[in-house]
Amino acid sequence: MAARKEKRANRVRGKDGVSVRQELDTKLREVLQSRANANSVFDILEYLESENEDDVLAAIRTCSKLFESLLEKGELHIGDLPAEDEGSSGNPSPQSRSDSLSAEEKYKIWIRHRYNSCVSCLVELLHAASFQVQELALCMLMKFVQLEGKFPLESANWKDSYRFPRRLLKLVVDRLLQEEKDSSSLISRFQEFLEYDDVRYYTMSVINERIAQVSQNTKELPSTFLNNGFALLSSINMPVESKLSNFLIAQKGRNTDRSWFLLQEHMKAFERVWMGFLKHKLSVSLYKKVLLILHESILPHMSKPVLMIDFLTMAYDVGGAISLLALNGLFLLIHQHNLEYPDFYKKLYSLLDPSVFHVKYRARFFHLADLFLSSTHLPAYLVAAFAKRLSRLSLTAPPQVLVMIIPLICNLIRRHPSCRSLIHRPSAEGGMASDPFIMEEQDPAKSRALESSLWELEALQNHYYPNIVRAANVISRALSAQESDISELLELSSYELFEKEMKKKFHTVPLEFEPVQGLLGKKHDITADHFSL
């Protein structure tokens, strides 16, 4: 053992001033020039286990050149690989093999085993300490995938047919989908190879197998594994053209089963892998990540999007931010695939609470709510309930939300003239005390909104922010037929409001001749004693 460590240390330092890279180049030439130097392959492979990063990188590049040349020359055994003799000590001499094999066959079997050893080392390096080593190992493995496709190591019967090296790709994907270690950085690098139609197709099938394999060993999939799985699945960009032509491995052979070359087959594989992933229990954060991309990156590329009905309806019933995010997917299924959801508007109505003004996905929610309420065929009681609930919530809403909410309420009334009684009812003077509207009622049909009025908007005419006062004054005049565009107001922030006010230039400045007493204008305010003007 000590001698082996000393030997490796000498190689790291170099021999007679020769660098490791020069030594590897020399070994490479020796192996390619004569089979008598075949044992030099061991010296090359040994550097893959070096503790020096530069040596490992040099060894990966050397292995790439070596086995690329050997594959092109057809010097690796093709077909089922016999087990390597335990007593051969790695020597390809005829004495270490069965007498039934020729020297040529023994050499090819031996060099094939060395190739497998190289692949195993590269797979292990996918989780090396250095990302540079990981990245180069990944690129070399994918290069071997391409080379095995061009020069198949399968049975000779497949010589003239298309044969994808699925076994090698599975080693890579299984290593990316680790159960305990985050692989997101390496998966981002792997995304480049997912642009190839054949790699993407077989990757999806391998992911399915990996999920099934891990789920057999545990009732609940590890969170790290699920995060890696989502990172890999979300990196898949499905093609939009029906004819697929971007392949890592060139097609050949007339007898090849070409069914998977069709976009429809890719969509089926895409659907299977996502359904297999989503049937497992996800964390709340992962739930949100899936719902964020569901409507754009998943549903449009599924052969049967209606299979996601159960997942979306369950997400919609969860409540909070998850319900808000499920709206996009549900809208696609309702609008494009005739999904029937009897309690959809009732659930949407229940989502309107004070917290909706402060969530991260506020803009998306109100954009979709405006879209859902745009139909002129909705019953008047339903539209009135939404308008009234929004009006009541506006009493405690921040200014950046109010500048969007008030135009939205006015748009609802413009679309449904039968709701104009909400702003033209004399009994509105009583305010909240005489308001028949039941704010706590979750069923819009029982809220008695049509019997009420929008006195809250009249109260907002006394707001401290002038823009809100102007917006609320709209109800004091006849509403125009033209709807207000709220798209630019959806993502407005308090910072933007403040900056906008700071940039205003006033030509005349009103003067207050009577000094203000107190913070709120009260004469005996305690703050007047300390902050009087």
Q: What angle, 0 to 180 degrees and rounded to 10, lies between the N-to-C axes of helices 20-33 and 2-13?
A: 100
The whole-model pTM stands at 0.79
- pLDDT at 320 (0 to 100): 81
SS3 category, 15: strand
Tell me the per-residue pLDDT of 168-221, one tens digit each, with 9 for 90 and over: 999 999 999 999 899 999 999 999 999 999 999 999 999 999 999 999 888 889
SS3 category, 437: coil
SS3 category, 262: strand
Burial class (CB within 10 angstroms; exposed 0-12, middle 13-18, buried 19+) of 127: middle
Distance from C-alpha of 497 to C-alpha of 403, rounded to nearest angstrom: 10
Show the tokens assigned to 247: 């392949």
For the residues of 128-181, what is the DSSP string, one character each? Answer: -S-HHHHHHHHHHHHHHHHHHHHS--S-GGGTTS----HHHHHHHHHHHS-SSS
Distance from C-alpha of 326 to C-alpha of 320, rounded to nearest angstrom: 10
Type of residue numbered 468 = I
Distance from C-alpha of 59 to C-alpha of 57, rounded to nearest angstrom: 5
The per-residue pLDDT of the chain, averaged, comes to: 84
Tell me the per-residue pLDDT of 429-471, one tens digit each, with 9 for 90 and over: 556 667 899 999 999 999 999 999 899 998 999 998 888 999 9
Show the tokens assigned to 419: 């709701």
Neighbours of 477 (CB within 10 A): 7
- pLDDT at 401 (0 to 100): 92
Show the tokens assigned to 377: 């065929």
Q: CB of 208 within 8 A of CB of 272? A: yes
The distance from CA 91 to its chain's CA centroid, rounded to whole angstroms, is 49
| Residue 140 in this model has a pLDDT that exceeds 90 | yes
When mean pLDDT is compared over 94-108, 140-154, 500-514, the highest value belongs to 140-154
Q: CB of 317 within 8 A of CB of 328? A: no
Tell me the per-residue pLDDT of 229-264, one tens digit each, with 9 for 90 and over: 999 999 999 988 778 888 998 776 554 556 667 888
Show the tokens assigned to 72: 């092109």
- HSE at residue 473, side-chain half, CA atoms within 13 A, is 8
- pLDDT at 202 (0 to 100): 94
Neighbours of 185 (CB within 10 A): 12
Lowest mean pLDDT among 110-119, 122-131, 150-159, 318-327: 150-159
Tell me the per-residue pLDDT of 449-460, one tens digit each, with 9 for 90 and over: 999 989 999 899
Q: CB of 233 within 8 A of CB of 277? A: yes
Show the tokens assigned to 263: 């976009």
Q: CB of 402 within 8 A of CB of 394? A: yes
